[in-house]
Structure 1
Amino acid sequence: MEAKIRKILPKDEQIVVAILGCYAGVFGLVKLKGAMSGKKPVPVAAAAAAPATTSGSTSKWGFEPPTIETFDAWEQNADNWKKWEAFMSNDKLVDQWAATL
């Protein structure tokens, strides 16, 4: 069998490339089969926007600051951004906030 292969592929490099090509072909066929018979992905429902405040009263900064866990919902509420911009435009409040860091 090796003699037949050496007639077609006389160099070692050619045999290595042929073997890698066979592996890539098998891998591609497996991926293609999986893509054709795979289940459709389940659509994910969008999260509802968080209210402007979480406790019914605003914090001493004039808005309820988001946490890492609630930021995605917090940033979807336009009222939160208006309160943030009002806070950032008040230099006195920003200086007080910076002193607490």
Structure 2
Amino acid sequence: MDIHCRTITPQDYASLPLLFEALGYPSTAIDIAKRMGYLMELPQNQALVALNDKEELIGFIGLGYMHYFERTGTYGAILAMAMRNDKQRQGVGTALIEAAEA
């Protein structure tokens, strides 16, 4: 399976309820769109999606960038990550993490 990742767009929000439910957080598309709209406006947040060769959204990673307290600099943290149940153990998570690190 060919997997490629890109920055999330508002058009992707409708595909997220299935992924969030897989995490154990059922939510409606409307609630997710509102939440993502707010979160993506904050400069310290980023989200990426993984798509297969059919351009189906199969994974999501939400990232936060923060400042260290103990030293100068910033770091990134994975705040949420999910993939479709039928795509687990097929490299989706690895592709998302590698894209986040790029």
TM-score, reference length from structure 2 = 0.23
Structure with greater helix percent: 1
**Greater C-alpha radius of gyration:** 1
Structure with greater strand percent: 2
TM-score, reference length from structure 1 = 0.24
